[in-house]
Chains A and B, each alone.
Chain A
Amino acid sequence: MDLQEFIYSAEPGTYDEMLDGEGRVRPHWEYMMRAFRGLGPAGLERRRMEAEKLLRENGVTYNAYNDPGRPWQLDPVPLLVSSEEWSQIESGLLERAELLNLILSDLYGPRELIRKKLLPLELIYGHGGFLRACDGIRLRGHHQLIVYAADLARGPDNRMWVLGDRTQAPSGAGYALENRVAMTRILPSLFRDSHVHRLALFFQSLRAGLQAIAPEQAENPRVVVLTPGPLNETFFEHAYLAAYLGYTLVQGEDLTVSDGHVWLKSLSGLEHVDVILRRVDDDYCDPLELREDSRLGVAGLVEAARRGNVAIANPLGSSILENPGMLAFLPGIAAHFLGRELRLPSAATWWCGQKLEMDYVLNNLERLVIKPTYRSPGARPVFGSLLDKASLEYWREKIKARPHAYVGQEQEGFSTVPALSSGEFAPRHAVLRSFIVSRPDGYTVMPGGLTRSATLKGDMLVSNQDGGISKDTWVLASEPEKLVSIVMKPTPEQVAVARGTVSSRVADNLFWVGRYAERAEGTIRLLRAVIGRLYYDPDSIGSEYGAATNCLLQAVMRLTGTYPGFFGEADLVPEPDAELFSVILDEGRAGSLAYTLRSLMRSGLAVRDLWSQDAWRVLEELEQHLSDAHTLAVSSDLLHEMDRMINALSAFGGLVMESMARGGGWIFLDMGRRLERGMMLFSLLKSTLTKRQGEFVEELLVEAALEASDNLIGYRQYHRNSMELPACLELLLLDERNPRSAVYQAARLEEHAASLPRHRAAGRLGIEERYALEASSALRLVDLDDLSLVDATGARQNLEQLLARMGYLFGSFSNALTSAYFRHEHSPQTISSLRTA
């Protein structure tokens, strides 16, 4: 078969996954290539862009050290593996998982392997991953290694080799799933007709495996996913897996140990945690017994695990198996435990902690890969073939100084796969990460995995940090697979409700999402009203108009809190452009629109797992609008961009309103929104309507206040174009049917406060309830005519007093809520009675 429009040729002397030695397409690739030919390069490129858009919209990101939130890259050409070959790989992986499990059990148990000299003591005891505090801790059941990933590549002999083992907290399974979801969307019929093995069963196994290790007394075990937080490189995956599996996503500060048990700090109190799926490195998990300087862990966690009150997957200390020096000893251990050679060989490795081996490495450095035995951030493999004479000497000295800290590894020439690169197919070296989980009855391998290919031709180093591109991996069944009952993907809302748990940190973040979203919306509406009047009104000349402008610019300053704004030492009112730009775009300025939007996104990211994909997409759009706005030079141009932001914010508000379950979390979000809406309204009215103005100015201000609070249309329905103050105040403050009125906000706050979980004396109102009740009563009882009264100085004192009181009540409500529900605990500190004689 020829590829026609696709010109592709393999690198001479390198095994290619698609083409055989004669340049013919291998049989199991034929069907797909025919389909691609039908699509043509342009069609395939379109699919690639579609996938890119889909992944970006779903918020699939990878936080590289220097590039947070980098969108996930998917090449639409999958790696194909025939089912015959896969069954060999699978059995090799199962065997390897069992072997590593035996080693892990032994190292934190009898340590027979060391006594029998199958493993050198120095290799284990001298490795940072060997956690002495975790000696003797055992999970229930046969398996200690629960989740495992192996990086595979095809060597020059056409066999699959293991390049390295990931046993600490392997990442990638969630990305593999997200890749698969994207592929089925962009190439649905090709996927269906190719009879690809499904991934769902793997995740069912993961659930079963985690359930099985729960401490015995747990009837309905609670599993949590422990993440280092949104700044971690694979945070997206943590949130995604938690939502997919129906587990609560937690950070160290959400958990506490007491009585030797682990508890989740939820709004309604402490809830028992039985199993932790760990994505925090093991030495960071407990500042008491492991790394003292860790802020990511839970003090007392090791003790809780030691007593068997919590199961941690993988167990603390399992990173010892990631030591590449171990690879040199696996054959001997396999012979000891299994009585045979491993089906999947490891890349040939020499541990420099032994004299002969070190000499070999030093003498052959220019053709080996140098790897540190202990993984530390930023440490990468070094390819001897790329080093000049001086660098080779530098590395020889480095190895000689600390031989036990390095291995030399054979630099295998991996096979290449066709990769889509600028609309063409090009051969790229690739590595397949495969995933294995423990089930009560053995291990299960994910049929497929995460394939990553190098970005540059000839490059052997494939890693996400360096911008490698990912691929789906299709294990082709010989006949259509019976559809297993696929784990229904629960919506995040269902997840939250199902678990009924809102941690105090989550409530805190949701509250601020509500506040910032509303603040951003209110800020934009006011800015729009102001800019519109400044630049578009043909009558905007003359002193009366100036008085109105003055009030509105004051409102901008008050509402955003950007004092002194236009009214500092230099009077900026006559030339407001620069200050307006700053209020809109200066991210470093507290209160600016850009600052508020950033804060919104930060709070939103902290609870990433709770957003539906649609809601998340809207937040991403906002980010895009904000960066677009930075390119604009004239404030009137910003109007258009701000319209789009309003649309996005409204969509976000609508999605939250319509598709978020009314559980504990939503209440906090809505309270944040109500509080902010009320408080912004109070300062808007304070700036615009508490002083009597000339008739024309007052009409202008009434109209602007209605517009800025999004009440203009509602007002006109009843009052046409006559801008009357009493009618305006009635609509904005007192109309209970108007969802933007003050009394409406107060009433909602009252309802929410009544439904908060709390331990209170029977029959007594909670403190927040009292503030809300007073606010809503005061608004219901106020006399409209009194509010419009003007005293001798031209001030509307009654209105001013009401607004001040309301501001106080709403502010107090917020403070009371914060101190009662959001744990602003001091961060932990370590103490040590260190000095002695």
Chain B
Amino acid sequence: MRYLITHRTEYEYSEIVSCSHNEARLLPRSSPSQICHAASIRVVPEPIDYSERADFFGNRAAYFFIGEPHKRFCVVATSEVEVIAARQMDFSNLMQWESARDCLTDSPDALQYALDSPYVERSEQLAAYAQPSFSRERPLIDAVNDLMRRIHVEFTYDPGFTTLATPLSEVMSHRRGVCQDFAHLAIGCLRSMGLAARYVSGYIETLPAPGCEKLIGADASHAWFSVHVPEHGWMDFDPTNNQVPSERHIVLAWGRDYGDVAPLKGVIFGGGEHELDVSVDVRAIVASS
């Protein structure tokens, strides 16, 4: 499936911003599951300095600097991505979760995602929550799938409840949150079991209700997690939708947690209060064969 994605972020400030430094992870990376054919970022006011690089995790990071005073700031990222569905999932892999845990040290790339990170700290509490899904000698993929399902069932999607500063322990005790929280939660559970899991930032194509036209900007940026399966690679799970991502998930970037892949962050001088408006439009353009 091929998608045209438009991700628009707009800030209105109550006071003049004299200048701003920004870092964006809005350019999708290519991976075994997708090919990014084209991607670009347009910024108003025009940055006087713009550069792109690959970050520590191989994501595409853009730095830009706006030097002119402004009260409105708009970033539009447009990309064309082809998602390869077949590569996504392999339930026939029967490696037991204990073996996956025990051979982790052989793979430095995976091991780094088994450690604590700024937003996700391993804990007894998380391990205890994960435990029921990780019965002895259960195949890893089966266990993770079950963990995803339980999070989906036992936690309430509630956009008003958490902020980025809400610690996982609070998400645990109130059983509510949004996609980041669920991804962080699952990652915390897996790492507490000694497994490697990473955070994936991206988009999901939403389908309109039958008979309705799809609204522009109705989509949203999204987040899920990925678990390392030895000798196979990384497999994605979306606990918010209780879904194994296939054709409708588009990956932007991955890292240890949200902090590594924030789509847009900045340091501004001045500005006072601000209003933020974000819209995402994911449009299928060509059906792949």
A interface residue numbers (CB < 8 A to B): 114-115, 121-122, 125-126, 132-133, 135, 256-260, 287-289, 292, 299-300, 303, 306-307, 404, 825-826, 828-837
Contacts and interface: CB of A to CB of B under 8 A. Distances in A.
B267 A299 contact: yes
Interface in B103-118: 108, 111-112, 115-116
B262 A834 contact: yes
Contacts of A121: 108, 111-112
Contact of A825 (B9, B48, B270): B270
Interface of B: 9, 11, 15, 18-19, 21-23, 48-49, 51, 53, 55-57, 63, 65, 67, 108, 111-112, 115-116, 159, 163-164, 178-180, 201, 204, 220-223, 240, 260, 262-271, 274, 276, 278
Contacts of A292: 265
Contacts of B179: 836-837
Contacts of A288: 21-23, 265-267
Contact of B48 (A114, A115, A259, A404): A259
Nearest to B17: A826
A836 B181 CA distance: 10
B178 A835 contact: yes
A303 B268 contact: no
9 contacts: A258-B49, A826-B15, A828-B267, A830-B266, A833-B265, A833-B276, A833-B278, A836-B180, A837-B179
B112 A833 contact: no
A831 B240 contact: no
By Cβ-Cβ distance, the 5 closest A-B pairs, closest first, are A837-B220, A299-B267, A132-B56, A836-B221, A299-B21
Contacts of A300: 21, 63, 65, 267
Contact of B220 (A299, A832, A836): A836
Given A121-B111, A826-B271, A258 B65 contact: yes
Contacts of A114: 108
B265 A832 contact: yes
Contacts of A834: 163-164, 262
A836 B222 contact: yes
B65 A828 contact: no
A446 to B, nearest CB: 36
B126 to A, nearest CB: 13
A828 B271 CA distance: 9
Given A303-B51, A835-B159, 4 more contacts: A122-B111, A257-B65, A288-B23, A826-B269
A513 B16 CA distance: 31
B65 A832 contact: no
Given A115-B108, A258-B65, A260-B49, A836 B223 contact: yes
Given A132-B55, A825-B270, A126 B115 contact: yes
B264 A832 contact: yes
Contact of B262 (A258, A826, A832): A832
Contacts of A126: 115-116
Q: Which of A135, A289, A835 has the most CB of B within 10 A?
A: A835
Contacts of B260: 132
Contacts of B269: 825-826, 828
Given A132-B55, A288-B21, A300-B21, A831 B49 contact: no
A260 B51 contact: yes
Contacts of A828: 267-269
Nearest to B11: A831
B221 A831 contact: no
A115 B105 CA distance: 11
Q: Which of B19, B260, B267, B270 has the most CB of A within 10 A?
A: B267
Given A288-B21, A829-B268, A125 B49 contact: no
Contacts of A125: 111-112, 115
Contacts of B18: 825-826
B49 A259 contact: yes
A837 B178 contact: yes
Nearest to A259: B49
A792 B160 CA distance: 73
A833 B264 contact: yes
Contacts of B19: 256, 258
A539 B190 CA distance: 91
B48 A258 contact: yes
Nearest to A830: B267
Contacts of A135: 56
B254 to A, nearest CB: 13
Contacts of A303: 21, 51, 63
Contacts of A825: 18, 269-270
Contact of A833 (B9, B65, B180, B267): B9
B65 A837 contact: no
A829 B265 CA distance: 11
Contacts of A260: 49, 51, 65
B67 A258 contact: yes
B115 A122 contact: yes
Contacts of B240: 837
B271 A829 contact: yes
A830 B266 CA distance: 6
Contacts of B262: 832-834
B24 to A, nearest CB: 9
A127 B48 CA distance: 36
Contacts of A259: 48-49, 65
A121 B114 CA distance: 11
Contacts of B178: 835-837
B120 to A, nearest CB: 12
Contacts of A832: 164, 262, 264-266
A288 B265 CA distance: 7
Contacts of A835: 159, 178, 278
A256 B49 CA distance: 14
Q: Which of A256, A258, A837 has the most CB of B within 10 A?
A: A837
B125 to A, nearest CB: 12
B93 to A, nearest CB: 25
B6 to A, nearest CB: 15
A638 B90 CA distance: 88
Nearest to B48: A259
Contacts of B278: 833, 835
A826 B270 contact: yes
B278 to A, nearest CB: 6
Given A257-B21, A300-B65, A837-B240, A829 B276 contact: no
Contact of B274 (A122, A132, A289, A831): A831
Contacts of B22: 288
Nearest to A122: B115
Q: Which of A114, A122, A300, A831 has the most CB of B within 10 A?
A: A831
A322 to B, nearest CB: 19
Contacts of B263: 833, 836
A835 B161 CA distance: 12
Contact of A831 (B15, B108, B268): B268
Given A133-B56, A259-B49, A287 B276 contact: no
A836 B163 CA distance: 11
A123 to B, nearest CB: 10
Nearest to A297: B267
Contacts of B276: 833
Contacts of A256: 19
Contacts of A122: 111, 115
A359 to B, nearest CB: 18
A132 B113 CA distance: 14
A364 B69 CA distance: 62
B288 to A, nearest CB: 25
Contacts of B265: 288, 292, 830-833
Nearest to A405: B116
Nearest to B202: A836
A600 B146 CA distance: 67
A19 B11 CA distance: 72
Nearest to B260: A132
A794 B234 CA distance: 94
